């Protein structure tokens, strides 16, 4: 018999699961389209996006911090992008242990094409959300982000 005796799921857990499912669906869709249409990966796209915002390049450590991944993961992705001719890696004279990654002209052209499509895919996925709902969700997610930051400090 179902009824009042059944415990209701924790509202915070329900919210977490909803956020996770939405993120997972969107990420899988983007990963699949990047692979099918551009023979690339989301990590490669993310590295190029970070470099697009920094024309002077980024140190490998800074790149890994911005992408919230390990140095080893970034190194592997950067090596792949270098083989494709999309980035160059330079070791500064003053510190041969560090590396500065910059996007090549070929990488910029490739990224511009992929980013245009990526933008369209995101627009398509969010097309069912009205402007007011989108703006409210954005504000609420900012509140969640603040809560996450505060909980890390505790």
Cα separation, 100 vs 90, whole angstroms: 5
Residue 1 lies in a domain: no
Structural domain that includes position 16: 12-153
Residue 5 lies in a domain: no
Cα separation, 105 vs 83, whole angstroms: 14
Do 117 and 140 touch, CB atoms closer than 8 A?
no
Cα separation, 46 vs 84, whole angstroms: 15
Which DSSP string corresponds to 114-128?
HHHHHHHHHHHHTTT
Res 5: pLDDT: 52
Number of domains in the chain: 1
| CATH number, position 121 | 1.10.10.10
Res 152: pLDDT: 79
Full-model pTM:
0.84
Residue 6 lies in a domain: no
Question: Tens-digit pLDDT profile for the chain (154 aa)?
Answer: 555 556 677 999 999 999 999 999 999 999 999 999 999 999 999 999 999 999 899 999 999 999 999 888 999 999 999 999 999 999 877 776 788 999 999 999 999 999 999 999 999 999 999 999 999 999 999 999 999 988 877 6
């Amino acid at each position: 018999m179902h009824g009042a005796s059944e415990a209701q799921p924790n509202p915070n857990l329900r919210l977490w699961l909803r956020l996770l499912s939405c993120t997972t669906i969107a990420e899988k869709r983007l990963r699949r389209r990047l692979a099918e249409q551009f023979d690339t990966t989301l990590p490669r796209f993310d590295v190029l996006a970070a470099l697009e915002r920094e024309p002077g390049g980024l140190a490998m450590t800074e790149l890994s911090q911005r992408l919230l991944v390990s140095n080893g993961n970034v190194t592997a992705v950067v090596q792949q992008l270098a083989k494709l001719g999309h980035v160059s890696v330079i070791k500064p004279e003053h510190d041969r242990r560090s590396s500065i990654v910059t996007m090549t002209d070929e990488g910029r052209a490739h990224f511009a094409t992929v980013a245009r499509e990526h933008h369209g895919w995101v627009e398509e996925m969010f097309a069912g959300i009205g402007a007011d709902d989108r703006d409210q969700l954005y504000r609420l997610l900012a509140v969640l982000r603040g809560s996450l930051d505060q909980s890390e400090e505790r």
